[in-house]
Structure 1
Amino acid sequence: MNQQSAPRALIILVGIAGALIVLFGLREVSSVVGPLVLALVLVIAVAPVRSWLARRGASVWLQVAVPFLIMLLVLLGMAGVLTMAAVQLGELAPAYTRRFEELLTDARAFAIARGISGEQLDRAIDSFDPARVIGIAQSLLGGVIGVFSALFLIVVLMLAMCLDAPITARVLDSGEGRKVALVEALGRFARKTRRYLIVSTVFGLINAILDVIALYLIGVPLPLLWGVLALIANYIPNIGFVIALVPPATLALLDAGVREMLLVVAAYVVFNVVTQSLLLPKFLGDAVGLSTTMTFLSLIIWAFVLGPLGAILAIPLSLLAKALLIDSDPAAAWAGALISNRPPAVTRPTGSKSRRSGA
């Protein structure tokens, strides 16, 4: 008896509907999912430390304590830096409100002198409220406070994962020997995520140091703050460079003028082209395995689901989804090739030549 399969269009529509339900469900519990993914990514990043200790015969508690302390120091250090940055922004923003109004007035006079309508300019100027500068600083401070509210949950999750890591590693190693597709896909996800984090962090630090030096020479206030922002924005695909550029360029305009703003833009563009466009792809290689379009879509989707943390973790989240949904299914190789924008290798059956020769 022949079983009639469902139409492909129906399968696609049901799949899209299921994906939307999952994404909106994750968005509703983003306060838990975000810290969970962040803890998982941090545990994956320090996994080589635990493996190194295990190979040297260290005790289990040492294999748990050392990676956990490393993650805790990194997390507390980043939270402290962001808190100081938010406080400094809150103190700095009101001082430039008057300067912002003066620049708008000068721009209005410059435009009217060249025949642009005054009413259109007034409407445009009204849309640029100087109080929004303070609001941005306050929202950033509120976001940092939100991170601190979830800090306890992140630490507990990291500790739990570190405690389970030795047993989990042995289970995964035993599964790899049996060629289990899901286990191999999760292993590739961990390796790709770790390589992505290491390479992005190294080049992010290089980029941040160059930015700090350039901003210090130009005379832009708070160069260390903008260097930290450049490091964090380095994990945001496609638009991270713009996010890191806009605040110091705007501050240079308010503090010194157009010339300094153009110098900041030029310095950031040069550093970004050298590190992100020329050097980073050579070292990162195919670690990500996502096309440019899929990378941009992943940024939009995960930022919508998890907010700013989703934008920072967009690549690891997409790699995890790819491992669970595509890499674990041998029949979905074509989908993996489509997402990575790399055509799959064409394999010729071993008996095809002999069959043709004997025909």
Structure 2
Amino acid sequence: MDTGNPVSVTLIGEAASFVAMLEHVSKAAPLAKPVLVIGERGTGKELIASRLHYLSERWEQPLVKVNCAALTESLLESELFGHEVGAFTGATRAHTGRFEQADGGTLVLDELGTIPLRMQENILRVIEYGEFQRVGGSNTLSTDVRVVGATNEDLPRLVQAGRFRADLLDRLAFDVIHVPPLRERPEDIPTLAYHFAVNITSELKRTVFSGFSPQAEAALVGYDWPGNVRELKNAVERSVYRAEDPSQPIADILFDPFASPFAPPETHAENPDAGPVEQSAGAVSPVPIPDDFRAAVDDFERQILEGALRRAQYRQTTAARMLGLSYHQLRGLLKKHGLPKTNRAASQAATGARESSH
């Protein structure tokens, strides 16, 4: 249970989308209605849920959080609603559930989309009537709780698939707050990076953080951050603590902790089950002569770039490293060939091409 410290929910950012989201939070916070917080992994949904609590009239009451994906169905039921003595093997004493613990305050249901259907009905009853029973109990208990759900799932799609109750979604979705991904607020990346760097510098008991080199800042802003703020924090902290000379600005951003100089060479990437390729010594594969040499070279170059982007999951810094290029060289080639810089942009471009062909 979070005992409550408003300082712990400080959020950093000045991008228009981020500021608009915070204003939405401030407007929804004073109400006692359920709220959904939707966003990709690593965007800070739990911090937004906490902010809803601390800006409400319930801020002095308990803030209780449950990660619904971390528990089995039976454990989650006991964790949410509590249980009586003898409710199951090993239940030697009564257990107070999270709905009881959060009485008068806020209950945050993280990873909401993973809750089993059977339990969703019980949660709906608590939200509608403020009543529930402990596991193994017969007494009806009452609680006054504001429920905030957090998820990266598409809940309406889960309803269509029969994995989430439509009536529960209706009750939870009094209002829905969408947390923008980091790629939609690139102007906030340098500020966040500096904040994380200063914190890890202090943790390492160093006297000063010397900043980032221009190349490092460009790499930070140019990266797509599929893991969002959490991934940015890890990359910055990793880069600071592994810097060889802490008195100098950080020159290299260590995006991928799994990158290894000892990785085995990739062979037969398209068909890993294929056997070794046998070719007689001196054999030369025939190369077709193109009608337009420059166009053929451009086309080949474009194919290589597209393949590298896909394999790097559209992480430009990773793609540049794979191709032996600098980050700026890759950016120049992408611009030359008019290639999209993100997977989403590629998808939109493909959609537009299909529509124009009809």
What interval of TM-score do these two structures reach, taking the shorter chain for normalisation?
under 0.3
Identify which of structures 1 and 2 has the higher relative contact order when contacts are C-alpha pairs closer than 8 Å and 6+ apart: 1
TM-score by length of 2: 0.24
Q: Which has the higher helix share?
A: 1
TM-score by length of 1: 0.24
Q: Which has the higher strand share?
A: 2
